[in-house]
Amino acid sequence: MSKKSGLEAKSSASTEAPSPGATETTPLISTNVVEEPGNGGSSSGLSAKQTALLIAGEMAGSGVLALPRALVKTGWVGVPIIVAMCAIAAFSGKRLGDCWSIIEGRDPEMRSRKRNPYAIIADQALGKTWSVIVSMAVTVTLFGAAVVYLLLAAQIIEQVFHALVPTVTFCAWYLIVAGAMTPLMLFGTPKDFSYFGIIAFGATVVACILYFIQMMNEVNPFVFRWGIHGFQDFFLAFGTIMFAFGGASTFPTIQNDMADKSKFSKSLQWSFVAILLLYLPIAIGGYAVYGESAAPNIAASLKDTPLKLVGNVLMALHLVAAFVILINPVCQEMEELYNVPRGIHTFVKQL
């Protein structure tokens, strides 16, 4: 007779002795989380629209500015590649959400909010060793991306305020931005800062509209461009396009904070459609207008105008807001590792 896995055994036990609600525990506190039947989550949490905005706000940003240069290296074949990568990323995100739904379906105790859902998925699928590997990979990836976001934000702010305070260097602006963002890292879970999704995505949308208007103001007689630079350039551009749709490391953390986790797929659909509608005009417009002269950051190819200035400020705002979304899973991993109690009041009391 084959031995049942731990997850199956828990599922059987919960069927024999159902409890009114799942219990969420840490070594320092214990909280009862009562689940509403049929909604797949707790009564409070992110709505489907809030989830879509968090996903879109985290993903749509710095990647869009690199797409015109990617098209320079791939030619027009890059456009269907962008669409294909969007579909693949959305499908992968849906499968990741399905994994968590399966875990919750088999073990009701998993329906309470967890700090490291991605690592839990790896643990249930491949064991403890792979759980640690996945946890480390997610932490390194998101921490590295968050640092880049702060660097880009500091660079833009330095350019904007250079005329006013020329003595403040880029390094000093980085320290200022990092210091200002530190208190925002104390947010508990995505539902505590759902409005950052609105800020991040809204700023990107307006910035891209301004950039696109500026592109159209600089348009020359259209010349149909065709060609691929070479094998190496093509795959470098392919990597840039893939980077533009990166961000799946945050999906389990965001889904875990939803009021109805079964609606995660719907949120993914909304967010990826919005991202694609944002990416294509900038990518195609930048390539068509500037061609080979398109800079790695298309904003650098634009003439210095008020439209570009406002667009840059909004992009910096996006980077700051997206930083909060990106760094949250890392903070929760550290909190889980060091048994930090949930809730600021409990944390202060324990101190």
* Banded model confidence at residue 223, pLDDT cuts 50, 70, 90: low
Q: pLDDT > 70: what percent of the chain?
A: 83
Task: Supply the pLDDT for residue 300.
Answer: 87
The three-state (H, E, C) secondary structure of 269-283, written as one string: HHHHHHHHHHHHHHH
Domains of the chain, with CATH numbers? 45-108+117-342 (1.10.4160.10)
Considering 88-92, 106-110, 291-295, the range whose residues carry the highest mean pLDDT is 88-92
* Banded model confidence at residue 75, pLDDT cuts 50, 70, 90: confident
Q: What is the pLDDT of residues 143-181, one digit of tens each?
A: 998 998 999 899 889 988 888 888 999 999 999 999 999
Give CA separation, 193 vs 134, 189, 197, 198, 330, in Å: 25, 7, 8, 10, 15
Q: What is the pLDDT of residues 182-215, one digit of tens each?
A: 998 888 889 889 999 999 999 999 999 999 999 9
Task: Supply the pLDDT for residue 43.
Answer: 52
Inter-helix orientation angle 264-290/48-59, to 10°: 30
* Banded model confidence at residue 230, pLDDT cuts 50, 70, 90: confident
